[in-house]
Amino acid sequence: MNIDFIILHGSPGNGKTTLSQRLHEHFRTPYFEFGWIPEFRSLAPSVQITQKEEEQLAFENLMLVVKNYNRHGFKHIIITDLNDIRMLDIPKEFERYNYIILTLCSDQDEVIKYRILNRDNENNYTDWETSVEMNSLIRGRSKLPNEYRIINSSSDVETTFQEILKVMEKHVPSRTNKIDVREDDFYSYITT
């Protein structure tokens, strides 16, 4: 199992942070949440930049950073918390790498609602209705190359973690970048 990048994806409330941390501990590799990339508007409010431009810069910066870690020999680099629409960029960004997309989903809306309203990981996101809609959107669309969907409605992190390891162990990289989805099938939080 020699994977360069592990992209953990899914709507809020599906356990991305918890399972990313568990994978980080297991593989002892770099772990990046998209939200860790500085945002100009909060660091320097006088900078004139749109939300779309800022997200684009932050995404490009993250790609440079993770690819540099890989160039220095790191494997199993964990990336999470990307804007859903950014998943369309992953096959292009990592076409020369061995990557896997692990999309966490729930088959129970109440589980997402409960997790979002009862978080203990300092995440202030509380819009469980949007998360439920996004979860439904993700579950209903075609998969991307190298994407696996994992139902994570259980409260047992270890069971889901072991399922992830099994999926990774059996993973055979797709060498196609053919994407059979429409941009409308993806959610974006960017409004401007």
pLDDT digit string, tens, across residues 129-151 = 999 999 999 999 999 999 999 99
User: Is the model's pLDDT at 37 over the cut of 80?
Assistant: no
On the 0-12 / 13-18 / 19+ scale of CB atoms within 10 A, 121 is exposed
In this predicted model, what pLDDT tens digit does every residue of 60-96 receive, in sequence order? 999 999 999 999 999 999 999 999 999 999 999 999 9
Report domain extents, the chain: 14-175
- Asked if residue 181 lies in contact with residue 141, where contact means CB atoms within 8 angstroms, the answer is yes
- pLDDT at site 155: 73
C-alpha distances (whole Å) from 146 to each of 5, 11, 97 are 11, 18, 11
Average pLDDT (184-190) is 87
- pLDDT at site 119: 81
- Output 192 or 123, whichever has higher pLDDT: 123
Q: Which fold has domain 14-175?
A: Rossmann fold (3.40.50)
Query: What mean pLDDT is reported for the chain?
Result: 89
- Output 152 or 122, whichever has higher pLDDT: 152
- Output 144 or 182, whichever has higher pLDDT: 144
Query: Which of 4-13, 21-30, 59-68, 183-192 has the weakest average pLDDT?
Result: 183-192
- Asked if residue 85 lies in contact with residue 188, where contact means CB atoms within 8 angstroms, the answer is yes
- Asked if residue 168 lies in contact with residue 1, where contact means CB atoms within 8 angstroms, the answer is yes
User: Is the model's pLDDT at 41 over the cut of 70?
Assistant: no
Q: Give the integer Cα–Cα distance in Å for 17 and 32.
A: 10
- pLDDT at site 192: 64
Q: Give the integer Cα–Cα distance in Å for 63 and 87.
A: 13
In this predicted model, what pLDDT tens digit does every residue of 93-121 receive, in sequence order? 999 999 999 999 999 999 999 888 988 76
Conformational region of residue 76, where left means phi above 0, alpha means psi within -120 to 50, and beta covers everything else: left
